[in-house]
Amino acid sequence: MYQFIKSDINLDFIGKRKIAYAVSLFLILSSIGFLVANKGPRYGVDFSGGTVIQVRFDAPVNANEITSGLDTLKIITSSVQTFGDKKDNEFLIRAEHSLNTDKEFATKVTAALKKSTGKIADIRRMEIVGPQVGQELREKALFAIFYAMLFITIYMSGRFEFKWLMSALVTGILIASVYFFSWLFSSILNIKVGMLELTGVALLVALALFWVLKLKYAMGAIVALIHDVTITLGVFSIMGKEITLTTIAAILTITGYSLNDTIIVYDRIRENVRKQYKNPFEVIINNSINETLSRTILTSGTMLIVILSLLFLGGGTIHDFALAMTVGVIVGTYSSIYVASPILLEWQDK
């Protein structure tokens, strides 16, 4: 029977781990650097509040012409960018403030755009999100990512190390740490911090706890997930993309996919520890990665075919979701081999 990858394949993944560490470090530092330079992720209207207007023209126009037309209505735009294919002549306009988007307003916008561009404008949709609603959505999205990672670590520790009680203890400490640091910064130090900073502090506390309590599988999984999410956010920052609710959905999907890939490899490592106990741990990990390589490539490959189809053929509405998923699947597959698994070896060496 034909095999996509031979069963006796023996690629030296672990032997190349230091090169992989250098690549991962470069990608993470680059991502963090761009996020810092851009003053954090660029939040969309969903999270920052404001008004979004999708408009289509009957002929090619310039973004500056659109901006000048809106200036006559005293609409302060944060961005004007193409939406979908350029040949569709569609633009997504984001205003910094919530506007009264009634029928009269739509008529004024189309008239102003026609005057400034000389082309007929057709408003496809208008959405408004208040600043308070946007802030609440942003906090809930960060909570969702944090708790997803938290419960993943509980599962990993219980599944592979049978430390359910210790995992529950870690969960309690992490949840308490979020509220403690929130109280400390706001009430005692009088420093205003957001959920992004609190989530970062909680993740650092989590890594420290995993190290002290020797939860090596949870450590490997959470580091791989932080690796994947950071690089995905970095790519969005580099490309000037906005973080929306759709993007958060993609990031949560990425964490699930990356975890699934990591679990497959970890499961084989645990089996081979019993079967190949005479071999060094480095050899056991490398054999396990090679034995699951066919499944990893086939799963990632088939998923990429679907996602790339959405990316290039799905249109502007789903483009950012497909982009985040594409980056996440590639980085997630890489991290399950070169990040999550080698961490077990580094732990053993220590």
Verify that 237 and 281 share a domain, yes or no: yes
Asked if residue 321 is part of any domain, the answer here is yes
**Is the separation of the CB atoms in 71 and 120 below 8 Å?**
no
Assess whether pLDDT exceeds 50 at residue 2: no
Number of independent structural domains in the chain: 2
Q: How far, in Å, CA of 137 to CA of 143, rounded?
A: 10
Residue 325 has a pLDDT of 92
Query: Structural domain of residue 104, as residue ranges?
Result: 50-129
Residue 330 has a pLDDT of 93
Tens of pLDDT, residues 31-45: 999 988 888 788 777
Percent of the chain with pLDDT over 70: 86
**Is the separation of the CB atoms in 143 and 195 below 8 Å?**
yes
**Is the separation of the CB atoms in 221 and 206 below 8 Å?**
no
Sign of CA pseudo-dihedral 277, 213, 263, 205: negative
Tens of pLDDT, residues 84-118: 777 788 888 887 676 666 778 888 888 888 888 88
Q: What is the mean pLDDT of the chain?
A: 81
Tens of pLDDT, residues 10-28: 788 888 888 999 999 999 9
Asked if residue 4 is part of any domain, the answer here is no
More reliable by pLDDT, 57 or 174: 57
Assess whether pLDDT exceeds 60 at residue 203: yes
Verify that 62 and 198 share a domain, yes or no: no
Verify that 55 and 176 share a domain, yes or no: no
Verify that 82 and 226 share a domain, yes or no: no
Verify that 114 and 239 share a domain, yes or no: no
Looking at the DSSP assignment, which residues form a beta bridge with residue 80? Answer: 93
Assess whether pLDDT exceeds 50 at residue 1: no
Q: Reading across the β-sheet that carries 90-95, which strands appear in turn?
A: 77-82, 90-95, 50-57, 121-129
Tens of pLDDT, residues 178-199: 777 777 766 666 665 555 666 7
From 129, 159, 188, the end of a domain falls on: 129
Verify that 64 and 160 share a domain, yes or no: no
DSSP string of 232-247?
HHHHHHHTTPPB-HHH
Tens of pLDDT, residues 254-267: 888 888 888 888 88
3 state DSSP class of 136: helix
Full-model pTM: 0.80
More reliable by pLDDT, 137 or 93: 93
Verify that 323 and 270 share a domain, yes or no: yes
Out of 1-15, 65-79, 255-269, least confident range: 1-15
Verify that 19 and 77 share a domain, yes or no: no
Verify that 213 and 233 share a domain, yes or no: yes
Residue 28 has a pLDDT of 93
Out of 129-133, 261-265, 313-317, least confident range: 129-133
From 129, 157, 191, the end of a domain falls on: 129
Average pLDDT over residues 325-349: 87
